[in-house]
Structure 1
Amino acid sequence: MIVPITGKVSYSITLDPTVWIFDDRKILLEDAFIENERKNESNEWAKLGQRWDKEVGEEKPRTDSNHNISKREGEKILKNSYVIPIKEFVNKAEIHEDAKTAVLLTENNKEVELAIDELTNGYVQFALKGKPLKEDGPIYFLYRDGSNKENPIKHVKKIVIR
């Protein structure tokens, strides 16, 4: 149930989608593409805010740390389908400047080639109705625009940067 990111990266890393169910960065599958539209609309305001913070010299406190969840939240988590943006994980691997493509290795070593931007701007689905994707996972890949929401790339077992 782990997914390595290897190839033209400074750090080969291993993703463990089984722990993302309790990650604050997860997004409800049905909200992922709506949230993306909202982010695009507010992107200009966010840039202005970042510029202001830089000018003032103060950084905002981190809000991405995980917190304890209530029983009610836990029950809700175990009933929904979730995605998580892959960008932060890919950024931690530090893709080399000469890398051209990303390859998703799937079932039977089938290769699905993507542009680096398509990968970094995409989502990975790791839970369906609160359960890990054991039969056709460990993760699915979804394009940021939602164009393959009904037919995601399934059985993603490894990501190779070329």
Structure 2
Amino acid sequence: MESIILITGNVRYTITLDPGVWIFDDRRIDLTTYFDSAKKPDDSLEEYTKSISKHWDREITEGAIYPPTIQSEKKFKKEQILNGTFGIPFHDFLKNASPNESSGSVKVITDKDTVVIPIDDAYNGILGFSLKGKPLKEDGPVHLYYGDGSNRDNPIKNIREFIVE
């Protein structure tokens, strides 16, 4: 099985995707809870301010020394990564490929057939890359989920290439 996927076609840049390294990416999302949680608009400045405030409050209340709870938090996150089911938004990869203005759809080439989806649905898509801590070897390397979760139980599998049209 080839684990490299290309984004080609009506784009300015051809992009090569390697799902094997996404486990280390901070953009990864937990697919077991993603479609159940309410979607809110991305406000990265607000998130940054909240994280800095939380860190500041921790230093004020506990001092600048790392408390023992930090170790247990790290252990919990490590176990979560080793056993989790994760995906990553397709938006950034598609955006970096720079589809031309005339692009209106994305062909998803699989082992068995070709699925054509509107480019807006592709931008909102999620690429699943791990199931219970393991890479998707049998029907992977990625699964494509629509952003609204409508194909949550039956994602597009065995993807080999994305062709922007």
**1:100-148 Cα deviation digits (max 9, x unpaired):** 210000014x100000001011101000011110110010000111011
Which residue number in structure 1 is paired with residue 123 of structure 2?
A: 120
Describe the SS at the equivalent of 2:83: coil
**Equivalent of 1:135, from 130, 134, 138?**
138
**Residue pair 1:2, 1:14 contacting (<8 A) in 2 also:** yes
Deviation at 1:70, TM superposition (A): 3.9
The answer as to whether partners of 1:9 and 1:161 remain within 8 angstroms in 2 is: yes
What is the identity, as a one-letter code, of the residue corresponding to 1:16?
D
Q: Contact conserved, 1:138 with 1:155, CA < 8 A, in 2?
A: yes
How many percent identity over aligned positions?
41
Using structure 2 for the length normalisation, give the TM-score: 0.77
Structure 1 residue 38 displacement after superposition: 3.1
Work out the number of aligned pairs and report it: 140
- Any conservation in 2 of the 1:104–1:158 contact (CA below 8 Å)? yes
The amino acid of 1:33's aligned partner reads F
- The answer to whether the Cα contact below 8 Å between 1:32 and 1:83 also exists between their aligned partners in 2 is no
Secondary structure, counterpart of 1:150 in structure 2: coil
- The code of the aligned residue for 2:117 comes to L
Q: What residue is the counterpart of 2:60 in the other structure? A: none
Shift of 1:72: 4.0
Q: How does 1:30-69 map to 2 (within 5 A)?
A: 30-35=32-37, 37-39=38-40, 43=41, 46=43
Q: 1:103 aligns with which of 104, 107, 110?
A: 107
SS at match of 1:102: strand
Structure 1 equivalent of residue 64 of structure 2: none
Provide the residue aligned with 2:59 in structure 1.
none
Which blocks of at least 5 consecutive residues in structure 2 are unaligned? Answer: 52-72
Q: Secondary structure at the match of 2:157?
A: strand
For 1:11 and 1:150, how far apart are their aligned partners in 2? Answer: 32
Residue 160 (1) aligns with residue 163 (2): yes
1:23 is matched with 25
Q: Partner of 1:4 in structure 2?
A: 6
1:90 counterpart letter in structure 2: L
Separation (CA, whole Å) in 1 of partners of 2:158 and 2:25: 22
Distance 1:132 1:4 in 2: 18
